Chains A and B, each alone.
Chain A
């Protein structure tokens, strides 16, 4: 239907701030929108959930929100970042709207459906885009009919629909919207006053359109190109659980910056393509040059999808993770990271959210705060830091205005007292999120429980499990699905025994903090040593983190 070229599908001026343009190319409907960072998104005009046109949704400047059930899709990567019907679940990262490549030049937005990028359109510098003119006629016919017409001052349009004359030069393009639909677009260069010229060319196109339509009426209208949307992946069709794959992403350190005493921020950009979507509270694994794997929370605000931002604190007794980043990592270096995973999901169906950060634990909460602010939901971020100079990400904090409360240099007693004040009155539609060093988390959880907060309303993320792991027990594990029995001797973890047998679940932090290696317990009594499961979950005894937890009974039956 067309040679391998980029095709104009909108004028730049069509993409007004916070607007969603409805377009069409070869029978495929497009939702085209510009984010506040200037990026132009060309997407399939269809929400993956129940097929509603995204062009009737809301462009928040950072995300596109579907009008039907409020699913949110991120700028650039088009990944679904939030499913309001299940506010406690992180959406599967693979829920991604279909996107196409985009360039913006000559006042037009161009895309294509080819496998590889065709050569860029050759356009003269500058010029003004014409008012586009849609018409119900076959695109080839429109192209043929336009060739030879001579708009006043420009001389006849050649085969490629270009014309040059005393008035300047004119370049028309025919966007094949569908088998029987086209849009005439164009760029004009001229010294004439622009508005009058655009009006004149609009009149010219209008009369050309009327001629073409008269001619098109003589032949039967072609059948529209059938709509053949891509199928969603198999696991999404059945679904809802989130699956974590071993996918490894390659990123480049675009910026490394000291953002507080002993804290560096890293901005990680993709080598090619877009980064997968992330949600507030998500973290990534970073494979460090010295072979270690470490978890860092993303600081990213909604729509900040061009790079991942993490904060890394130099830990004094560091096993090498933070030291390697602080000392040997440089801008321009490559890193291998995992896709974002989320064990610290932010609910947004609540009337009040309390965020409590201790030290570098502020990173996931910054991301949450930005999301809540975007949604216009009430929240407060309570930030405990050792000293003024240890306050990280000042600019992001400043954007929170009076929703930020700082607590500087409090001793453990005063910290406990402050926490008591913050958590004193549990409200039915409120939620608490805490992230920080283990002792502070323990105190916060205890304080919340005492004040009467239900377990389910208090969410926390330990960025490391600093408790001592007792590996002295030995026991047997039976794997119900794989029908094997394995021995776990003292000194070894369930996970490592599983790995050896080739039936291990995915794992990440290996310290009982991230929840990735969780397995279901069918029978037996777990000996929980993690900091991930809540007290209620531990008491229920039907889940276990296989990296650190063990068995009190002499055997465990696992659903593996």
Chain B
């Protein structure tokens, strides 16, 4: 597969996460990939971050614990207001490379139906498999997808829970390869924990998922929160890496959606509407 395919304008002109800030040590240059292109970055001794594709300096943004850059001309990055709330723990749980397109990764993140099968005993348990009706809509003039009133039975919904319950989720997709989910906080009934998956498309059929949490938890250590998140993502990996094709098919007749997949259906339509070709298989015209 040609890893140097040119991204479409919608994908090109986005901010992308390329590293977790905590891993960047002053004076130690590092490199990664975006759209198959080698990108180097460094925090100089003066503390400033520099990103380059080898021929030019690229835009830099430090946000949500990550370093973001772009190969195009990006607008403002989407807002995750919770990240700024003073009583929250913000944790970068890790950045993991996966052998599948970023959009497949996002779609899996939006999916509740797999919990009892893939995250058995943690985010779901047999025989509780039903995905109840929920709402999906487009907000902010079509710039974001939001799914609300998503309920799912969970035997151990987070690092601090000890018993099973129906847990409520909200999913946001404000970016073609980033999503934020909110779930009832076990510490404070009235507030929601935020868990984000920021996707860095390293190629058309590979991505790095940067996992960032903003949660109400004064019990667990960062190590343990990261352990839990990596455990969950590690369970998704063998599924993602066994999806065929590796790019997300946008033809509505390529796969078989059910009602539980309403968010995924809207996500695929939204990508189609924006002419996304990178990391996807567009429907034949």
Chain A residues proximal to chain B, CB less than 8 Å: 29, 45-46, 48-53, 56, 67-70, 83-87, 95, 227, 229, 231-234, 236-240, 348-351, 375, 377
Contact = CB atoms under 8 A, between A and B. Distances in A.
9 contacts: A49-B258, A50-B111, A50-B261, A56-B238, A86-B131, A86-B259, A237-B256, A349-B127, A349-B130
B254 interface: yes
B220 interface: no
Given A53-B242, A227-B244, A84 B259 contact: no
B256 A236 contact: yes
Contacts of A95: 256
B245 to A, nearest CB: 6
What are the 3 tightest A-B residue pairs by CB atom distance, in nearest-first order? A84-B129, A231-B253, A85-B260
A85 B117 contact: no
B259 A48 contact: no
A233 B253 CA distance: 7
B243 A51 contact: yes
B53 interface: no
A97 B161 CA distance: 40
Contacts of A45: 244
B174 interface: no
B27 interface: no
B179 to A, nearest CB: 16
A86 B132 CA distance: 8
A229 B113 CA distance: 24
Contact of B255 (A50, A233, A377): A50
B238 A234 contact: no
A85 B256 contact: no
Contact of A87 (B114, B118, B130, B251): B130
Nearest to B1: A224
B176 interface: no
Given A68-B118, A70-B129, A48 B258 contact: no
B127 A377 contact: yes
Nearest to B249: A51
Contact of B129 (A85, A229, A237, A238): A85
Contact of B128 (A56, A231, A349, A375): A349
B131 A85 contact: yes
Nearest to B130: A349
Secondary structure type dominating chain A contacts: loop
A48 B253 CA distance: 10
Contacts of B242: 52-53, 56, 67
A405 B227 CA distance: 49
Contacts of B275: none
Nearest to B107: A50
B252 interface: yes
B239 interface: yes
B118 A51 contact: no
Nearest to A227: B245
Contacts of A239: 257-258
Interface of B: 107, 111, 113-114, 116-118, 127-131, 238-239, 242-245, 249, 251-261
- Tell me which of B111, B128, B258, B261 has the highest count of chain A C-beta atoms within 10 A of its own C-beta: B258
Nearest to A353: B127
B239 A68 contact: yes
B244 A48 contact: no
Nearest to B238: A56
A83 B253 CA distance: 18
Given A46-B244, A51-B243, A85-B260, A351 B255 contact: no
A238 B261 CA distance: 11
A227 B127 CA distance: 35
Given A50-B107, A237-B256, 11 more contacts: A49-B255, A51-B245, A53-B244, A56-B239, A69-B117, A85-B130, A86-B259, A86-B260, A240-B258, A349-B127, A349-B130
A54 B245 CA distance: 13
Contacts of B255: 48-51, 232
Contacts of B251: 231
A461 B258 CA distance: 26
Residue of B239, B242, B243 with most chain A CB atoms under a 10 A cut-off = B242
Given A84-B129, A85-B129, A349-B129, A232 B253 contact: yes
A51 B244 CA distance: 5
Given A56-B238, A349-B129, A69 B254 contact: no
Contacts of A48: 255-256
B254 A232 contact: yes
Contacts of B253: 231-234, 236-237
Indicate the member of B111, B249, B253 with the most A CB atoms within 10 Å. Answer: B253
Contacts of A351: 127
A234 B260 CA distance: 18
Nearest to B128: A349
A236 B252 CA distance: 9
Nearest to A55: B242
A237 B252 contact: yes
A351 B126 CA distance: 9
Nearest to B239: A68
Contacts of B256: 48-49, 95, 232, 236-237
A180 to B, nearest CB: 14
Contacts of B107: 50
B130 A69 contact: no
B238 to A, nearest CB: 7
A232 B257 CA distance: 10
Contact of B127 (A83, A238, A348): A348
Nearest to A29: B244
Contact of A240 (B239, B252, B254, B259): B259
Nearest to B283: A231
Nearest to A56: B242
B114 A69 contact: yes
Given A69-B117, A233-B253, A86 B258 contact: yes
